[in-house]
Structure 1
Amino acid sequence: MTTDSWEFVRLKFRPVGERRIALLTIDRPPVNAGSVGVRRDLLAALSSLDADKDLAGVVLSGANGNFLAGSDIREFDAAPQEPHLPEVIALVERLPVPVVAVIEGAALGGGYELALGCDYRLAGPNAVVGLPEVTLGLIPGAGGTFKLPRLVGVAAAIRLVTSGCRLKAEEAARLGMVDAVKAGNLIKAAESLIVGGLQKRVLRDFPLQSGDNADIAAAQEAALRSASGSVAVSEAIEAVKASATADAETALAAEREASLRLRRGPQSQALRHLFLAERVAARPPEGATAGTISKVGIAGAGRMGVGIALAFASLGFEVRLAEQSTEVLAAAEKSLADGAEQMAKRGRAKSAGAVTDRISAGPLTDMADCDLVVEAITEDMDAKIALFADLARTVPSTTILASNTSYLDIDQIAAAVPSHPERVAGLHFFNPAHIMRLVEVVQAEKTSVDVLATLLAVCRRLGKVPVVARVGEGFIGNRIFNAYRTQAEFLLEEGAYPEDIDRAMTDFGMAMGPFAVFDLAGLDVAWAMRKRLASTRRRDARYVTIPDMLCEEGRFGRKIGKGWYDYASGGAMPDPRVREMINAASQAKGIERQPIPPDTIRARLLAAMINEAALVLAEGIAARSSDVDLVLVNGYGFPALKGGLLHWAARQPREDLLASIAQMAKASGPGVRVAPNLEEVLHQATCSEL
């Protein structure tokens, strides 16, 4: 067998009678990203085959566990470099012999578009295909919006392209996105197809799949409803619809122009920033070795404990759940069953039983063989210290002990584990833990780098976004969110009402307004924190008593049907009683209430968060501004299309932003520190640190 090779492509030939089959393999470690080098080498290899009279066909595959995992997004900020992917695909389509794409692992974005340029798509059981460009603020730019409708129809193509979903092999085959799924030696299977007489069949020449206009309209409406302002979703819809009305050359040129234009836009830049930030945040410390985790203990079966148990069990971990209260444990069993059923319905588990069968309830002593124990009990320092002391006596010294605390000092908790305190860390999940992606991995003073690496790896296996934080009240997210909360309460005293503030922030793009979030989280949680910190508060600091007044009346939020809003009718309705309390509190302080414009509300709240984020960075609680962005987007509903708090802030007029922070500090009174490193943080967030 003869072999030719380039930097990222290998070409071998296998004799077939008097002819031969070309085996073309893409090999760009570690994941086969479609860089300019890959495109260059593919074009060279394909060009060498164009005039080969002895050629019977081509088998195109990928090394490194993937076909082609997508484009290398690090190249997107530079001008597009030749050769472009459409040129490569056009050459595949022009070859006089059939080309079989052998898809193992990922064929995403440009990788799947390359497969669409082939004459046959043969997938392995582990294959994942899709056009996820909208998740990076783009649309496919190498024929995806024109060719996919020819396989699945216009309505289905709209749903697939605008959602950016990735489909496993069997589902892709059911929809027609791949021609067949086979186990075993796919290269041999592809060769057999060619020897058996597979014909050339260029997808761009296929007739369009007929579709129902009502179904197309419904798909478009649903996509726009969930777009949250994404320009890419609108452009993708138009590109897919154009596949039914325009000729191939016109449609493909328009698709390419839109893709390149969106690449330069602020939404794509923001989403690519978050994409890269995730990968940087999850990197283990240099020289660290991650351990293996298979059995996980969860101490505490409340809402958070149940969510954490579901998260682990759904990904194949064996889970031991311990809870002292029989009443809480009984409620947990129902919550586990309900949660597992929902996961199965959403395709996140094969069945509810596949999840719950991995969870067993028992005493703390059952965790003696666990590799990791996550504490998820009440937010009380004494209770946590007592539990960790019990765990230190129960489990081996190699077991990692992690607290799910939202605010408390991990170093103080670790002091309860005198034997190997380096195994103690924080693992702060967000509620509901089996749904929310963010996890703050808290590195205590004595946490070892190997433990940190292990927890980062576990979070990645769970499909989470892990961000390392150091010890500090509220870590990264709750520290910043508390400044947001406090400023919102100041605005209440001055003249705004909860619905005014919530509307101003959802208009900005936040998933929920702050007071709706407070009600969802439970007002008693923040009340307990305020009481715990009361002795440390400056006597001259501005303090708003309205939240305490609500809690004293038992208004703890959604869970009891009333908080900042009234939920008796099912939805969040402004409550006259809350307005009475707000007005009375303003009057008691001699504050003359004035209507506050939405722009002023937004400026004050965002300034408070930006200032606190800079302080978090100055104190070393967060390592980089992109970590702050990840936390705010994935845990607190900051709009991803803006790239996160500091990515957005760094792109605002600097003088206006600094003036807003100064005004916020003046309105806040004593106790509010203006971060000394604001200029530095904003400068660093403007530059690429990834």
Structure 2
Amino acid sequence: MSTVDYAVQSSVAVLTVAYPPVNALSLAVRAGLGEGVARAIADPAVKAIVVIGSGTIFIAGADISEFGTPNSAAEPRLQTLQAQFEASPKPIVAAIHGTALGGGLELALTCHARVAVQSAKVGLPEVKLGLLPGAGGTIRLPRLTGVVVALEAITTGRHIGAVEANKLGIVDAIVFDLKADAIGYALKLAAEGTPPPVRDRNDKITGVDPKVFADFRARAGKKWRGQIAPARIVDVIEAATTRSFDDAKAFENEQFKALMESDQRKALIHYFFAEREARKIPDVPADIKPLPIRKVVVIGSGLMGGGIAMSFANAGIPVKLLDIDAEALARGMGVIRKTYETSLSRGSITQAQLDERFGRIEPVGGYDDLGDVDMAIEAVFEDMALKQKIFALLDKATPPHAILGTNTSSLDIDQIASATTRPDKVIGAHFFSPANVMKLLEAVRGSKTSAETIATVMALGKQIGKAPVLAGNCDGFIGNRMLQYYTVNAEYMLERGATPEQIDRVAEQFGMAMGPLAMRDLAGMAQAVNVRAVRKLTLPADERMPELVERMVEAGRIGQKSSAGFYRYDGRERLPDPAALDLIRAEAQRQGIEQRSFTDEEILARLFHPLVNEGAKELEEGIAIRASDIDVAWVNGYGFPVHTGGPMFWGEQIGLDKVLATARTLGAENGQTRWGPSRLLERLVAEGKGWKDAPALIAAGL
């Protein structure tokens, strides 16, 4: 069967790409399109050409299955096909439904026009893989939209809806009957004269002030936090305004090749597949079908509960927000409405979307009307007795099929489940604040959680736009269990002579949005003292908890709220504070610790190597299924820079032997029981292996 069907209808050659599942630009598709265009040009009865996709999508980008094979570079290559399209004396119209992303849109940009159904989306998402559009996207798109729109669209890689794409000039018309209307549009162009190809349209890239690019770099550069692809994209778009098309295209080719060879591209490719792999649970049979979740109740109307409710409402799922405190419930609904109104003022949602989403959230003051929910999610503060009381009430109030989820960040799932008659339906559903924004959903299985419950919550995570990861049941699960090594080790380094400014600068230059000490100040330290008091009770005998947070609180320095913590604050601006350094030195002297200087490299290792070591322990214990699952958790829940691939991938790239050396050093300094090397890490280094070898070693008992 041909991958491109050729038919003539009303004097228009219709080339239908039929290469399921996503009509990727394989060699067979490229050849079929090239032959179809040549045939149409040679046929005097054909006045115009329409390119359309079969199935649910227009045309995807490159065929991943051909990467590294001779087919990927065989003629016609994509750029050869594009040149053929642009040289056609007969107008070619791209008829877009589903999505036209990456190479699919780049091919469409070489058609003389583009029409799309209202539900279609277009975009150039290559930046998310550490690349730039390599088939002329950075050179052609600004010729349609202008440079300001192109800069934002390509450096973010966002998907653009057809209606917006029409307003921006990417799509020429919104149509209803895709094939029929595309044929009509093609005949119209044929009658009026074939328009110039996009490559020859220069009005929107002529006379652009270089300040536009300088301003964009200054404004957006902080968001990139170490990523190289966005900066290269800006360089190429700027070149499109100062060079000929061919020279700018050559520059695009050069920059694309450099990015293809970069470590960031490898890391981002790893992460792309890691998110998808995390949804696959080895011991959940493929024939287990997720339960439909048509209505949800969230218990607790604070910031977390409200954010969770918004996550469901935004995905089209009706949700009840339950709080027995009427004032708190009213306050929570007010915060939700204000959050939506802020989104409206920024232009990210319309008034109709605000009304629709807010209307899906129903405030309720008790447990009497929960007979129609398919899932409950408890989001109250971390108190085991309170959570057990709520789960006992939910057990009685919700239908027997309903899943009972807890948003706990560290408490024992089995203890919570013991308050119910359906422990198989109980699961951790740990969202991250703000829940309506953060992508991670850490699903936590208890000892009796059923495969059906796991399958349902993992599918639900994807449905509501989250990146779900399954964790085992332990203190802190995957992410928070590791977090303490990042924050506490920063305090150990302060005691030994590093400054808050140096530690946070190293973390932020690495790619973290905020360093660990600035994060402490933002969160506020008073509550941390209470949490640490509990944690100290279970510390092993060979470990000492630093007490700098306690000293800060005793001095009235609780963080940004008091305008003083590890820094002093003028509004939100953080400033070095000699008083904080004096307090740190005094505590070091009290503990008998001699202070010294640290290099940036040593600080980087001491901040992030312990995450990798603890991640290895989680793999040993079965808390995490795969090393890449840990990467997904830390990128989406803790802001670990995605261009590193996540902590586990990064650790392997820099060398697990270096991670092991740091673990040995910190074990000797801070206590071997928790800070010393994992057995898995020691075996992997000894045998010169990596994370892909971990499952076999673990299965063999190390």
User: Residue in 2 aligned with 1:255?
Assistant: 252
Distance 1:217 1:516, change over 3 A: closer
- C-alpha deviation, 1:307, in angstroms: 1.1
Mapped partners of 2:346, 2:67: distance in 1: 33
1:30-52 residue CA offsets vs partner (Å, 9 max, x unmatched): 33343445334433444444533
Which string of whole-angstrom CA distances, capped at 9 and with x for unpartnered residues, describes residues 53-112 of structure 1? 332222211123211233345655668432421122222223332211111111111111
What is the DSSP-based 3-state SS (H/G/I as helix, E as strand, rest coil) of the residue aligned with 1:471? coil
Structure 2 unpaired stretches of 5+ = 696-702
| Contact 1:156 1:219 (C-alpha < 8 Å) held by counterparts | no
Partner letter of residue 436 of structure 1?
M
Secondary structure (helix, strand or coil) at the match of 1:287 reads coil
**CA deviations over 1:229-256 (Å, ceiling 9, x no partner):** 3322222122222223333333223322
State whether structure 2 residue 125 is matched by structure 1 residue 132: yes
Residue 45 of structure 2 aligns with which residue? 54
- Which residue of structure 1 lines up, in the alignment, with residue 79 of structure 2? 86
Report the residue type matching 1:365 in the other structure: D
Q: 1:28 to 1:442 in 2, by over 3 A?
A: farther
Q: Compared with structure 1, are the counterparts of its residues 563 and 224 closer, same or farther at alpha carbon in structure 2 (3 Å cutoff)? A: closer
- The answer to whether the 8 Å contact 1:129/1:172 transfers is yes
| Cα distance between partner residues in 1 of 2:693 and 2:636 | 22
Q: Are residues 1:101 and 2:107 paired?
A: no
Deviation at 1:669, TM superposition (A): 2.4
> How many Å separate the matches in 1 of 2:436 and 2:259?
33
Look up the SS of the partner of 1:383 in the other structure. helix
The 5-angstrom pairing of residues 360-375 of structure 1 reads 360-362=362-364, 363-375=366-378
Shift of 1:203: 1.8
3-state SS of paired residue (2:8): strand
Distance 1:359 1:381, change over 3 A: same
Q: Give the Cα–Cα distance (whole angstroms) in 2 for the partners of residues 559 and 261 of structure 1.
A: 46
Alpha-carbon offset, residue 223 of structure 1: 4.0
Give the aligned partner of residue 61 of structure 2.
70
Aligned partners of 2:556 and 2:452: how far apart in 1? 45
Structure 2 residue 675 is matched with structure 1 residue 678: no
In the other structure, the counterpart of 1:9 is 4
The residue matched to 2:430 in structure 1 has which SS?
Answer: strand
Distance 1:82 1:268 in 2: 23
Query: 2:144 matched to 1:144?
Result: no
Matched to 2:386, the amino acid is: A
Superposed CA deviations along residues 186-245 of structure 1, whole A, max 9, x for unmatched, are 100111223345343322222342454144543344344433233222221222222233
- With over 3 angstroms needed to count, the CA separation of the structure-2 counterparts of 1:502 and 1:267, relative to structure 1, is same
1:245 aligns with 2:242: yes
Supply the AA of the counterpart residue of 2:389. Answer: A
Report the Cα distance in structure 2 between the residues aligned to 1:216 and 1:596, rounded to whole angstroms. 38
d(CA) in 1 for partners of 2:273 and 2:524?
33
The separation in 2 between residues aligned to 1:159 and 1:148, in whole angstroms, is: 11
Task: Return the offset for 1:432.
Answer: 0.6
Task: Verify the 8 A CA contact 2:667 2:673 in the aligned structure 1.
Answer: no
Please, what is the CA RMSD of the aligned residues?
2.5
After the TM superposition, which residues 97-246 of structure 1 pair with which residues of structure 2 at under 5 Å, given as runs?
A: 97-183=90-176, 185-198=177-190, 199-201=193-195, 202-209=197-204, 210=206, 212-213=208-209, 214-246=211-243
Q: Residue 684 of structure 1 aligns to which amino acid in structure 2?
A: G
Shift of 1:121: 0.3
* Identity %, equivalent residues: 38
Distance 1:679 1:166 in 2: 44
Q: Distance in 1 between matches of 2:361 and 2:395?
A: 22
Unaligned runs of 5+ in 1: none
User: Aligned runs of 1:348-497 on 2, under 5 Å?
Assistant: 348-351=348-351, 352-362=354-364, 363-418=366-421, 420-497=422-499
Matched residue of 1:121: which SS? strand
Hey, what's the Cα distance between the residues in 1 that align with 2:526 and 2:400? 36
* Residues 310 and 340, structure 1, Cα contact 8 Å, conserved in 2: no
| Compared CA separation, residues 562 and 428, structure 1 to 2 (3 A) | farther
Counterpart of 2:483, as a letter, is F
- Once the two structures are TM-superposed, the CA of residue 346 in structure 1 deviates from its matched residue by 4.3
- C-alpha separation in 1, matches of 2:662 and 2:599: 14
Letter of the structure 1 residue corresponding to residue 234 of structure 2: I
Letter in 1 for 2:387: K
Task: Summarize the Cα distance change of 1:654–1:642 in structure 2 as closer, same or farther, 3 Å threshold.
Answer: same
Quick check: 1:295–1:372 contact (8 Å CA) kept in 2? yes
Letter in 1 for 2:200: D
Greater shift in the superposed pair: 247-256 or 293-302: 247-256
2:700 corresponds in structure 1 to none
Tell whether the 8 Å contact from 2:314 to 2:357 is kept in structure 1 after alignment: yes
| Alignment check: 8 A CA contact 1:105 1:128 kept | yes
Taking the aligned partners of 1:395 and 1:485, their CA distance within structure 2 comes to 40
1:115-140 per-position Cα deviation (integer Å, ceiling 9, x unaligned): 11111100110111121212211111
Residue type matched to 1:405 in 2?
A: T
Q: Distance in 2 between matches of 1:287 and 1:559?
A: 52
Select between 174-183 and 131-140 the one with higher mean Cα deviation: 131-140
Change (3 A) 1:552 1:377: farther
1:374 is paired with a residue of what secondary structure? strand
| 2:640 alignment counterpart | 638
Alpha-carbon distance in structure 2 between the residues aligned to 1:657 and 1:601: 13
Which segment is superposed worse, 384-393 or 646-655? Answer: 646-655
Shift in CA distance, 197/332, structure 1 to aligned 2, threshold 3 Å: closer
Match of 2:660 in 1: 658
SS at the partner of 2:653?
coil
Contact 2:300 2:380 in 1 (8 A): yes
Q: Distance in 2 between matches of 1:168 and 1:378?
A: 39
Read off the aligned partner of 1:384 and give its amino acid letter.
Answer: K
Query: Using the alignment, how far apart are the partners of 1:389 and 1:503 within structure 2?
Result: 47
Asked if the contact 2:680–2:694 (Cα under 8 Å) also holds between the matched residues in 1, the reply is no
Structure 2 letter corresponding to 1:27:
A
Q: Deviations over 1:485-519 (max 9, x none)?
A: 22222212222233332122112222211112223
Aligned equivalent of 1:297: 297
- Cα distance in 2 for partners of 1:578, 1:594 equals 17
Deviation at 1:654, TM superposition (A): 4.5
Amino acid at match of 1:355: R
Residues 1:24 and 1:464: Cα distance change in structure 2 (over 3 Å)? same
- 1:282 maps to 279
1:611-649 per-residue CA deviation (whole Å, 9 max, x = no partner) reads: 111101111111111111111111112111211111111
Number of aligned residue pairs: give it.
678
Q: Is the 1:76–1:263 contact (alpha carbons within 8 Å) kept by the matching residues of 2?
A: no
In structure 1, C-alpha distance between the alignment counterparts of 2:344 and 2:463, rounded to whole Å? 19
- Provide the secondary structure at the position in 1 that maps to 2:679: coil
Shift of 1:534: 3.4
Tell me, yes or no, if structure 1 residue 268 matches structure 2 residue 265: yes
Larger deviation, residues 365-374 vs 224-233: 224-233
Greater Cα shift, 679-688 or 336-345: 679-688
Structure 1 CA distance for aligned equivalents of residues 252 and 570 of structure 2: 49
569-578 or 505-514, which deviates more? 569-578
Q: 1:464 to 1:181 in 2, by over 3 A?
A: same
> Could you tell me whether the CA contact under 8 Å between 1:102 and 1:186 is conserved in 2?
yes
> Which residue of structure 1 lines up, in the alignment, with residue 699 of structure 2?
none
* Worse overlay, 368-377 or 568-577: 568-577
Shift of 1:403: 0.6
Q: 1:685 and 1:52 mapped to 2: Cα distance?
A: 58
Residues 271 and 643 in structure 1, CA contact (< 8 A), matched pair in contact too: yes
